[in-house]
Chain A
Amino acid sequence: MDCKSLADQLVEPPQEFVDITRDYVCIKVTDMRDHDLNNMRFDFGLTFFMILAHPAGRIYHRYGGRDQGDPLSWLSISSLKRALEKTLQEHKAYVAEGGKGRPDRLLPRKTIMDIPTFAKAWRRKKNKPVCIQCHMVHSAMRDQLAAENKLRKDMIFMYPPPRKIGLTMNPIDQDLVHEVQKDSIAWKAGLRKGDQLTLIGKTRILTIADIQWALQQPPRRRTSLRIGFVRNGKASSGALILDKNWQVGTPEEVAWRPWKWGLSPKPGFGGVAIDAEEKARHGIAAGDFAFRITYLVTWGPDAYTGKNAARAGLRKGDIVVSVGGKRDFRSVAGFHSWYRLTQKPGTKIEVQIRRNKKLIPLQLSVLK
């Protein structure tokens, strides 16, 4: 894995990469204001993404994506260069066969301004941000679903990474299966190490982002997805049998998603993880997670949650050592994700804190 992020590397990319981009028209989108959300859809929770498409709209492949681990592990100049080269071959072959480049299914154009709750809030906003970022699109979609009473917590388990079906893909040749977990969905579909995945549902697979896109498409009920793969030069097929809630996992898996911030219940406080030295000073075991409260939510429409936390006795500077008896969070984001996805409004939860070298148990009401 390269030490620099791919975005950094693209500022001064190697010449071989520059050369391959000459066969493309390269468009950089830094403002999502005019973005067609229906026909150029991708995981808007990401901060880096690429789409390789015919100018008439047909999308060949997607590139980017991440899971709960290292956000950069799937991104590299080598894998991107390969995706560009392979897509170029695909484009040439498609055009040679008389392909016009139109998408198989063209939906009505929709921009973020067509999302009613966002458009209304935007009109009222006095200090508008310079540009609309990808994550704001996601928040707008989530808030609109909430306004229509259609938001479900399990929706946060979106764009499932290959691991959800038991696959680990090669990070460079991203259509090559590196490992298959025994008895997983992929295993039962017949996939094995070394196979080249070519198709999931209607999506042609070249990258991990293609896999995530394909796995996002089926409805959330028991269903199956056709797959195609090549083993030892011979094409084969199979089917992924998906249960109703196959995408749903642990709160930690989706802790990185900004989507979580809009879910309720909200604890009303947050902070930063403390290091081993500080843990030792407070008599906290090195393996346990702890964080220092740096804020109570005292602003905006969620100010009631901060007031609730203050009523429970929480203060800025307190060290949180356990919540509901749980002390194995991996991050503060993990705590936020867990709280929102598991706690039930109307109940009480014990928050243990360290303050002035004393361990203090506090009772926090879980608010809607």
Chain B
Amino acid sequence: MKKRIAIWLPLLLPLLLLPLLTTHGLKAQDKGELSPIKKTDVSPDEAGILWRTDLAAARKDALKQGKPILYYYRCEP
């Protein structure tokens, strides 16, 4: 019996935990905790402008470099 459990448990454990993980994910999203936008993105566009989305890090870099910030708000209603 113990031997059977030892074989099957590692296989079944992920399946047993899956619903729990999914529920947690949904709950977190429901609270607005999960953002679909990657906060660490640094995306150079084709023209070569670095449009950053990591606000806090970008501000730190601007302070270090002594540069002003250009905030670009682009919302599509």
- Does B associate with A? yes
What are the interface flags for B31-55 relative to A under an 8 Å C-beta threshold, 1 for contact and 0 otherwise? Answer: 1100111000001011111111101
Instruction: Please report whether the interface of chain A is mostly helix, strand, loop or mixed according to DSSP.
Output: mixed
Interchain CB contact (< 8 A) of A135 among B51, B53, B67, B75: B75
Is A131's CB under 8 angstroms from B73's CB? Answer: no
Does A122 sit at the interface, judged by CB under 8 A?
yes
* Interface of B, helix, strand, loop or mixed by DSSP: mixed
Tell me if B4 is interfacial: C-beta within 8 Å of chain A: no
Measured as residues with beta carbon below 8 angstroms from the partner, the interface class of chain A is 35 or more
**Cβ of A25 < 8 Å from any Cβ of B?**
yes
Known contacts A11-B45, A50-B72, A52-B70, A28 near B53 by CB under 8 Å = yes
B46 and A12 within 8 A (CB): yes
Cβ of A274 under 8 Å from chain B: no
Question: A45's closest neighbor in chain B, by CB?
Answer: B77
Evaluate contact between B75 and A47: CB separation under 8 angstroms. Answer: yes
Q: Is the CB of B72 within 8 A of A25?
A: no
B70 to A25, Cβ gap below 8 A? Answer: yes
Residues 60-74 of B contacting A (Cβ, < 8 Å): 60-63, 65-74
User: Chain A: which residue is nearest B67 at the CB level?
Assistant: A25
CB of A28 within 8 A of CB of B51, answer yes
A123 on interface, CB distance cutoff 8 Å: yes
Contact between chains at A28 and B74 (CB < 8 Å): yes
Q: Is the pair A26, B37 in contact by a Cβ cutoff of 8 Å?
A: no
Smallest CB separation, A276 vs chain B (Å): 29
Q: How far is the CB of B36 from chain A (nearest CB, A)?
A: 5
A47-B76, A60-B68 in contact; A25/B36 too (CB < 8 A)?
A: no
Give Cα A91–Cα B69 distance, bound, in whole angstroms.
10
Chain A residues with CB below 8 A from B51, complex form: 26-28
Contacting residues, chain B, for A123 (C-beta < 8 A): 30-31
Question: Nearest 8 A-B pairs (CB), nearest first?
Answer: A55-B62, A134-B75, A28-B51, A25-B62, A133-B75, A51-B71, A24-B70, A91-B68
Extra inter-chain contacts (17) besides given A25-B59, A25-B62, CB under 8 Å: A11-B45, A12-B47, A18-B47, A24-B68, A25-B58, A32-B75, A42-B73, A47-B74, A47-B77, A50-B71, A52-B70, A53-B68, A55-B62, A55-B68, A131-B36, A133-B77, A134-B73
Chain B residues proximal to chain A, CB less than 8 Å: 29-32, 35-37, 43, 45-53, 55, 58-63, 65-77
